[in-house]
Amino acid sequence: MSKIKVLVVDDSALVRQTLVSILESDPNIEVVGVASDPYIAVERIKEVVPDVITLDIEMPRMDGLTFLKKLMSQHPIPVIVISTLTEKGTDSALLALEYGAVEVIAKPKVNTKQLLEQSKIELCDKVKAAAQVTVRKRTVSARGEEPAQKLSADAVMAKRTVSSMVQTTETVIAVGASTGGTEALKVFLEGIPADSPGIVIVQHMPALFTQQFAKRLNDICKITIKEAETGDKVLRGHALIAPGGKHMVLKRSGAIYHVEVIDGPLVNRHRPSVDVLFRSVSRYAGKNALGVILTGMGDDGAKGMLEMKEAGAYTIAQDEKSCVVFGMPKEAIKLNAAEIVLPLTEIAGHIIKKVK
């Protein structure tokens, strides 16, 4: 299998050097060029067309967002935006997703070995996912060095061996997504009416980005959407999005559902992890839950969805045609964890009929 060709675009020589070192630690990735600004990037693309571009936002001569818009309207190539995660930058990073970037991730943290290893895992995984994405023209309106163990949800919460708690009339909708999920969640949540059951969501996204992402969704959807905090109740007409960099679990006091935001190791190479959320939903909501797994690379959420189904929950997977990356839904389907497979545009309507 040919290597994935990557072009690194960043105005910092140190960042370029770090990214090249991380990416080329993976035997399946080859850096075919570097550029300190978009003008040089254009020349590099003329020499060798990359499979994936990593792109900074703040650069001289032309900013990353302007370059991204031009690229997607003229010569679409999968782009991963790598941001410094400043408060100022979070809005720009979300705009990048709207303009066509496949992913937005943090610049690698290299101050400790553990953080460097996590950065390697995240960046190389995202590049591999991006290489599988078919990008279209638009206008705007096997790894190298890594921790040997891939942790499951057991690292955060033990699997329940007995059936769930006493019956309640309240339903919980649990949703998991990754690559392509920001747009998929927008489509899904725009179709949810104001009186829907409470929703809990894990979207693989870095810290700080989820708060702004939730605000954007809240502005366009009928329901109230916010970044989750420990103690937030799961209420009708509300959706809670797990904060980037933290796991979110569902809990229950009597008939009242609430969430806890917790630290913990990467699960399936992610924090937040869909498997962690889904396991907690299977434990505390059982047959009163509906599970939805949307577009995404890898298998996070597949086993958790199976646990939800085994606990009596109704489960839905997004179909291949409407996915940006048919990874997570595919793995759930392979495990027979999904009761039904639907196009993205039909999922919200199907859920509303199911809960009436």
Give the catalytic positions in this structure: 178, 204, 300
Neighbours of 181 (CB within 10 A): 28
The single-letter code of the amino acid at 203 is Q
Contact between residue 23 and residue 124 where contact means Cβ atoms under 8 Å apart: yes
- Comparing C-alpha atoms, which of 304, 269, 255, 260 is closest to residue 283? 304
CA–CA dist 302, 67 (Å, integer): 36
Contact between residue 266 and residue 121 where contact means Cβ atoms under 8 Å apart: yes
Coil, helix or strand for 306? Answer: helix
Contact between residue 54 and residue 44 where contact means Cβ atoms under 8 Å apart: no
Separation of first and last alpha carbons in the chain: 49
Length of the chain: 356
For 266, half-sphere exposure in the C-beta direction (CA atoms, 13 angstrom radius) is: 19
User: Could you tell me which residues are beta bridge partners of residue 6?
Assistant: 31, 52
